[in-house]
Structure 1
Amino acid sequence: MASISWAESYVGQLRALAGDRVLMFVGARAVVRDEAGRLLLIERSDNSYWALPAGAMELGESIADCAVREVWEETGLRAKAVTPFAMYTGPDRTITNMYGDTYQLFVVAFRVDEWDGTLLTTTDETTNAGFYPVGEFPAPMSGAVEETLADLAAFEATGRLVMK
């Protein structure tokens, strides 16, 4: 899988055409755990926050393919099986990023059930990565991590997709 630049991405091209309008951002977020139950976190190169692997869906791929691709691009790991467990949608999910661009998010969170490969700690999109025990996460942390983990716990307890 080859990485593409922001300008080449679907959202990057749409942003160039739309100017400062609010855009819909469709994306995926992935929870990857190792055999010890530690959580994979990446340090994002754009804002230095620690986060889950995540990003925007491209034309021609499914939302599950997006999750698999984002894990690959940001960690070098190959997600071999994924399960959706939460959807984050609605006007309360509207954000303005550090570049001043505003998006209403539609994000699907996936649990990575099987993966292989060797973790890369530095990629085009990350400056560090590692597996961390719950409660021992590095800072600063993306606000989405705790909510996503709570929703995964709810999904695993009930088997019901979390819809927000």
Structure 2
Amino acid sequence: MSSISWADSYLGQLRALAGDRVLLFVGARCVVRDATDRVLLIKRSDNGLWALPAGAMELGESIAGCAAREVYEETGLRAAGVTPFAMHTGADYTFTNMYDHTYQLFVVCFRVDGYGGHLVRETDETTDAGFFAVGSLPAPLAGTVPDTLSDLTAFEHSGQLVLK
């Protein structure tokens, strides 16, 4: 899977101009489940953590388009439909990454409602990928995974968008 280089991405260009300032990161995180309700996780090549497919929105792109693109770039699967179920925003979602770049997140979490294609285990952004039962997720696991899965459960029980 080919993806845009960091330097050419919107956030890469903005980071080059802004230096060490805290930047707003607008992006999507996706929960993809198979027919047996297992969750798709990717092993990120940059930090080695198992995580949900996710990434930053590019200029001119919709947030739903971002979600579908990230799923494709990181797994080779094509999302047939996505449903937003949570928004993670605010100071509690500020983090500093391994490159010492600090971001405040505005992430829309999506449930992928169907997909096609074949799972690609290794991409430009991943070293592995697979479906896992929620009770036996692999380690090391990104901290965003349990929170996101909990929000999806709450959404599916209440029908209400989770706002954080």
> TM-score, with normalisation over the residues of structure 2?
0.98
Give the 3-state SS of the residue equivalent to 1:118 in structure 2.
coil
Q: d(CA) in 1 for partners of 2:142 and 2:2?
A: 26
Q: 1:72-87 maps to which residues of 2 (within 5 A)?
A: 72-87=72-87
Pairing 1:52-131 to 2, within 5 Å after superposition = 52-131=52-131
Per the alignment, in what secondary structure is the counterpart of residue 135 of structure 1? helix
Q: CA deviation at 1:88?
A: 0.4
- For the residues of structure 1 that align with 2:95 and 2:2, how far apart are their CA atoms? 28
1:91 CA drift (Å): 1.2
- In structure 1, what is the equivalent of residue 133 of structure 2? 133
Query: Where do 4+ consecutive residues of structure 1 move more than 6 Å?
Result: none
Aligned match of 2:158: 158
* Residue identity in the other structure for 1:27: G
Counterpart secondary structure, 1:110:
strand
Matched with 1:11 is: 11
* CA RMSD between the two structures: 0.8
Q: 1:2 to 1:125 in 2, by over 3 A?
A: closer
Deviations along 1:109-128, one digit per CA (max 9) or x if unpaired, are 00000101000000000000
Give aligned pairs, total: 164
2:21 counterpart of 1:21: yes
SS of alignment partner, residue 26 of structure 1? strand
- Taking the aligned partners of 1:126 and 1:42, their CA distance within structure 2 comes to 6
Displacement of 1:2: 4.8
Q: Which runs of 5+ in 2 are unaligned?
A: none
Instruction: String of CA shifts for 1:81-112, please: whole Å, max 9, x gaps.
Output: 00000000011111111100000000000000
Structure 1: unaligned runs, 5 residues or longer:
none
CA contact (8 A) 2:2 2:124 kept: no
Map of 2:50 onto structure 1: 50
